[in-house]
Amino acid sequence: MSTILLQDQPFEYQISRKGIRSIRLRLISKTSFQISCPYLTPEFLIQKFIKNNSTWIINHAAKINHKKSVLGLKNLKILDKIYEIQWIKTQKDSVIIIEDEQKIYSNMAIESESHAKKVLESKLKPFALKLIKKELVLLSNNFNFKYGKVTVRNQSSRYGSCSAHGNLSFNWQIIFFPYSQFQHILLHELTHIDIKNHSSKFWDQLTIYDPNCKKNNLWLKKEGTKHFLF
Ligand SMILES: [Zn+2]
């Protein structure tokens, strides 16, 4: 691995020489890429190639959605609390979340990434619904909201929604956000019960409930989906 600065951002890269005719580039992660090139390509040509493609590298690297591997996870941050995950190989799949101890016992038969995700998600999703409902009760007590049914979904592009009848739906993975942003999403949908649009009246009202409205909204736009695991 070598390191190169592209517009002040450090990137790691690996060179793989093989029987090909031209230099190729493949992004590996947000901060690394691989160069494949013909056996006898001189170093300066590789450097020139990287420099010429630096804008492309930076733009595309920023878009890489870095989904972490679930099997390798030792802990999971849920609403600012760190839950320790213990992986136990068993015949029967089960996931036990002990909230007081901040522990997750992940008992699984098959050690494959997709299987682990499926089993873990099947337990985390109802747990998310529980945490969301609990918070909604607190917020309603504070601000006197009246909402309908609450559900969780796996909406990749949306954090939440509010129906015409005041039924609320949330992306269950918002529990991986810091508490402040999590609460902001709930308040956003609760505000929609009275104000359906995103008018200035809506934002003014939401700012009353969440004084850090602007900051939280910006964080959600920039960082939000990076915290999704599934
Ligand atoms: Zn909205």
Q: Please compute the mean of the pLDDT values over residues 73-83 and round it to a whole number.
A: 94
Start-end ranges of CATH 3.30.2010.10 in the chain?
112-227
Q: Please compute the mean of the pLDDT values over residues 219-228 and round it to a whole number.
A: 89
Q: Please compute the mean of the pLDDT values over residues 172-201 and round it to a whole number.
A: 96
Q: Predicted confidence band at 65 (pLDDT cuts at 50, 70, 90)?
A: low
Residue 37: pLDDT above 80?
yes
Q: Please compute the mean of the pLDDT values over residues 91-97 and round it to a whole number.
A: 93
Report the Cα 2 to chain-centroid distance in Å: 29
Residue 156: pLDDT above 70?
no
pLDDT at residue 67 in the model: 67
Q: What percent of the chain has pLDDT over 70?
A: 97
Residue 73: pLDDT above 80?
yes
Separation of 80 CA from ligand 1 center, angstroms? 24
pLDDT at residue 115 in the model: 87
Separation of 208 CA from ligand 1 center, angstroms? 16
CB 186 within 8 A of CB 160: yes
Q: Are strands 150-153 and 103-108 parallel, antiparallel or unpaired?
A: unpaired
Separation of 140 CA from ligand 1 center, angstroms? 18
Residue 158: pLDDT above 90?
no
Q: 35 or 63: which carries more pLDDT confidence? A: 35
The string of pLDDT tens digits covering residues 212-223 is: 999 999 999 988
pLDDT at residue 9 in the model: 87
Separation of 132 CA from ligand 1 center, angstroms? 17
Per CATH, is 112-227 categorized as 3.30.2010.10? yes
Distances (CA, A) of 37 to 2, 14, 45, 116: 15, 11, 10, 37
Q: Predicted confidence band at 142 (pLDDT cuts at 50, 70, 90)?
A: very high
Beta-carbon neighbour count of residue 116 at 10 Å?
21
Separation of 159 CA from ligand 1 center, angstroms? 9
Q: 59 or 72: which carries more pLDDT confidence? A: 59
pLDDT at residue 106 in the model: 92
Separation of 162 CA from ligand 1 center, angstroms? 8
3-state secondary structure of 31: coil
Q: Predicted confidence band at 147 (pLDDT cuts at 50, 70, 90)?
A: very high
Separation of 49 CA from ligand 1 center, angstroms? 44
Q: Please compute the mean of the pLDDT values over residues 177-182 and round it to a whole number.
A: 97
